[in-house]
């Protein structure tokens, strides 16, 4: 997907408001891409544009090499919207039969396939209950079941864990990891960082309609910094023997702390060697892992995204 753009006209004066602008990312087959952003950031608009449910103003989208505007691009796609709407008078099994008709599933194979997706989503016991009696979490699970019904190669899921209790979220995570292991390509959106961190191979952080960062999970999963707490430097000359980056941190703190942060193992080794040579006491060393949540919050703490008129 390259340079996807979409704006909307709202209000009495039909003022044009940006939905998304310049959103680009690529998802290799068999991987999981997590689209992270706060509510209203543009995640749902992005997914609707990918599926051509909302026509973008510009940009290029290809699904498995096929232009997204062509119907055949979506024949191997399973989609779970953020707020799925179902016919409440149907039972769970009747709903899946309805979708099986739309998918053109073989009538002889259909019952076994429906039983399979009900079991995989934990809905077998509720298959004959009317949807009007489903809880929000149960509606989410039956939505997952219909997403899997056609055994799609690509899964696009907007907030798939919304409304689920902790056990349900764990079950969905395990299901998505299982599907990933089967070679499925998955695009999911969420504002719950830990859920994405445990599943995704790569992430994109969207803010105010713009993609402000993309990362491979490997970039930060093993990243560490080290907080080194020093004892009394004794005299000013001792502090001057520290590496320049450490001196700069202490100077910025203006005497309010006696600790410095080493960005990597090499800096840590350099600092500890100087402290040992100059007899500067080291009280403790704390390891601080840089995870997805840190990156997510840093991206949203940046200056506001400029809105073009």
Give one DSSP letter per residue of 16-32, joined into a string: EEEEEEEE-----TT-E
Residue 194 has pLDDT above 90, yes or no: no
Percent of the chain with pLDDT over 90: 55
Residue 76 reports pLDDT greater than 80:
yes
How many domains does the chain contain in total? 2
CA distances from 278 to 29, 245, 255, 262, 271 (A): 54, 17, 20, 18, 11
Q: Given this model, what pLDDT does residue 307 score?
A: 43
Query: Is 184 within 8 Å of 156 (Cβ atoms)?
Result: no
Same domain, 166 and 256: no
In a domain, 298, yes or no: no
pLDDT at 250: 82
Kindly tell me if the per-residue pLDDT of 166 is higher than 90: no
149 and 252, same domain (yes or no): no
Same domain membership, residue 130 and residue 38: yes
Report pLDDT for 284.
87
Which pLDDT belongs to residue 187? 98
Is the domain of 13 the same as that of 118? yes
Per-residue pLDDT at 23: 95
Same domain as 258, residue 122: no
This prediction's pTM:
0.77
Structural domain that includes position 250: 224-289
Write out pLDDT tens, residues 9-65.
888 878 888 899 999 999 999 999 999 998 889 999 999 999 999 999 999 999 999
Q: Would you say residue 261 lies in a domain?
A: yes
104 lies in the same domain as 243: no
Are 94 and 144 found together in one domain? yes
Please check the confidence at residue 304 and state whether its pLDDT lies above 60: no
Indicate if 192 and 284 belong to the same structural domain.
no
221-277: pLDDT as tens digits: 556 778 898 877 654 555 678 888 888 888 877 655 678 888 888 888 899 988 888
Which pLDDT score is estimated for 149? 97
Q: Are residues 23 and 135 in the same domain?
A: yes
92 found inside a domain:
yes
Clarify whether residues 281 and 185 are in a common domain: no
| CATH number of 260's domain | 3.30.70
Mean pLDDT of 294-299: 77
Shared domain check, 148 and 32: yes
Residue entry with tokens 């080290």 = 226
Domain shared by 236 and 215, yes or no: no
């Amino acid at each position: 997907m390259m340079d996807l753009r979409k704006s909307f006209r709202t209000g009495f004066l039909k003022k044009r408001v940006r939905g998304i602008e310049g959103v680009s990312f690529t998802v290799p087959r068999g991987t999981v891409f997590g689209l992270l952003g706060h509510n209203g950031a543009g995640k749902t608009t992005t997914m609707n544009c990918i599926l051509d449910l909302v026509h973008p103003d510009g940009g290029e989208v290809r699904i498995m090499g096929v232009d997204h505007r062509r119907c055949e691009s979506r024949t191997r796609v399973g989609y779970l919207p953020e707020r799925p709407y179902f016919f409440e008078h149907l039972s769970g099994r009747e709903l899946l039969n309805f979708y099986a008709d739309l998918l053109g599933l073989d009538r002889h194979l259909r019952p076994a396939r429906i039983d399979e997706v009900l079991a995989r989503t934990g809905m077998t016991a509720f298959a004959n209950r009317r949807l009007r009696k489903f809880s929000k979490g149960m509606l989410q699970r039956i939505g997952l079941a219909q997403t899997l019904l056609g055994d799609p190669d690509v899964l696009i899921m907007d907030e798939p864990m919304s409304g689920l209790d902790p056990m349900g979220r764990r079950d969905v995570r395990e299901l998505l990891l299982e599907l990933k292991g089967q070679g499925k390509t998955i695009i999911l959106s969420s504002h719950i960082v830990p859920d994405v961190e445990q599943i995704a191979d790569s992430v994109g952080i969207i803010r105010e309609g713009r993609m402000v960062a993309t990362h491979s999970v490997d970039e930060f999963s093993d990243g560490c910094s080290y907080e080194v707490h020093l004892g009394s430097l004794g005299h000013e000359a001792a502090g001057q023997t520290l590496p320049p980056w450490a001196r700069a941190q202490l100077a910025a703190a203006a005497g309010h702390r006696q600790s410095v942060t080493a960005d990597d193992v090499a800096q840590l080794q350099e600092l500890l060697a100087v402290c040992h040579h100059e007899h500067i006491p080291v009280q403790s060393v704390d390891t601080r892992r840089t995870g997805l949540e840190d990156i997510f919050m840093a991206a949203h703490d940046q200056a506001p995204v400029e809105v073009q008129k």
